Chains A and B, each alone.
Chain A
């Protein structure tokens, strides 16, 4: 639980830094994926792909 909270805090701070970034550039996607710090590194891309898939589908 504590690990998840720390991960969420890091995510929030990374997001804050990127708030003025132009969406949908390669750099933006890369940064958004890296921002999922509360997840293990090998799962971040899969989760981002899932978010994109659901966003398109729903």
Chain B
């Protein structure tokens, strides 16, 4: 049938991958098991570029990402573009991410830009307090430095804005979720951006009343308005409509999680599901001990990617949620192709519907995978019909 004016030809490869992932999310049988990549750092080690070259040159970074995608041909990709902001934070005076130029590895420095007696001040005016935190983080900033940072910010923005199209047009693959539709429990903001793990853990015990000022204000004045805006957005080119990351739960007791973490996130989930939307959650560390909180999630509306959990045990506990993960990263780096295939077969056979294969950790360091293992694994998963 000829195309109408303004109509474009769909990409059958992209559409097939998107359909496969969405079918897995709703526990429909797929011809082969979906296989997704989370290889933020490793894809650069696997490219002709050094980490520094790629992180400071978006054209090289794009070459590395697309080269990786075309070499291994995953069904979908996770993309944390914010990691690639070195030119921006360098111009400001240096950010939280530190690069070891010898190994190319990245580490995040624990940082602290707010104190318990300031939680109320944040609650009164979050935007004004963030400017205070910004000044605290970059004390030696000058106007010319800020100008340079702004230029980097907009250059990065142009690159980030084109990332969806880059994956769709050049890798014929969807992203798991849009970078712009992120919803986090407010405790994560303190944990990853403002207070640091150690001091936050102390605040939970010693300054809980003050801490709640921050959590309530961050939810009501920052996260929730963002959620409302994003509920209106068209995310039909992504596997899921929203993204979240669970990191801070790792050092919480069940009681602390119930009191300080879950209420805000539950409200977000209720609104996402009421609007007919879906969410992809990446959970660092282990989350099985909180499984009861997830038992009411409507079947087929969430993909939960886990790291250190026993994924077969979690499958039994959460038959309502599509799970991703489970493939031991150690085997990708240190096993043989045959061993990788055996493990993948066993996982796929055991997990059945509602499962997406992915590594048990983000591939971040040079020894996290060997090219021959990843190629053998993906060739097998692409063909294996359980």
A residues lining the B interface (CB < 8 Å): 11-12, 15, 18-21, 23-24, 28-29, 32, 36, 49, 51-58
Decide if B131 touches A24 in the complex (CB within 8 Å): yes
B133: CB under 8 A from chain A? Answer: yes
B143 and A20 within 8 A (CB): yes
User: Whole-angstrom distance from the CB of B114 to the nearest CB of chain A?
Assistant: 9
- What is the interface of chain B mostly: helix, strand, loop, or mixed? helix
How many B residues touch the partner, as a band? Answer: 20 to 34
Complex Cα gap A56–B147 (Å): 17
B144 to chain A: which residues have CB within 8 Å? 15, 19
A57 to B143, Cβ gap below 8 A?
A: no
Known pairs A23-B135, A23-B143; A54 contacts B153 (CB<8 A): yes
Between-chain CB contacts (< 8 Å), 8 pairs: A24-B131, A29-B131, A54-B85, A55-B89, A57-B192, A57-B193, A58-B82, A58-B97
Interfacial chain B residues near A15, Cβ < 8 Å: 143-144, 147
CA distance A49 to B95 in the complex (A): 17
Contact of B96 with A58 in the complex, beta carbons under 8 Å: yes
Complex CA distance for A32 and B258, rounded to whole angstroms: 42
What does DSSP make chain A's interface, helix, strand, loop or mixed?
A: helix
Task: Indicate if the CB atoms of B146 and A58 lie closer than 8 Å.
Answer: no
Residues of B with C-beta under 8 A to A56: 113, 130, 133-134, 137, 193-194
CB distance from B41 to the nearest CB of A (A): 16
Question: In the complex, which of the residues B82, B131, B142 contacts A52, with contact meaning CB atoms closer than 8 Å?
Answer: B131
Contact B134 A55 (CB under 8 A): yes
Alpha-carbon distance between A58 and B149 when the two chains are bound, in angstroms: 13
- Residue of A19, A20, A52 near B130 (CB, 8 A) is A52
Chain B residues positioned under 8 Å from A28 (CB to CB): 143
B280 within 8 A of A: no
**B67 → A minimal CB distance (Å):** 25
Bound Cα distance from A21 to B95, whole angstroms: 23
In the assembled complex, B375 has its CB within 8 A of some CB on chain A: no
- CB 8 Å contact bits of B81-102 with A (1 = contact, 0 = none): 0100100110010011100000
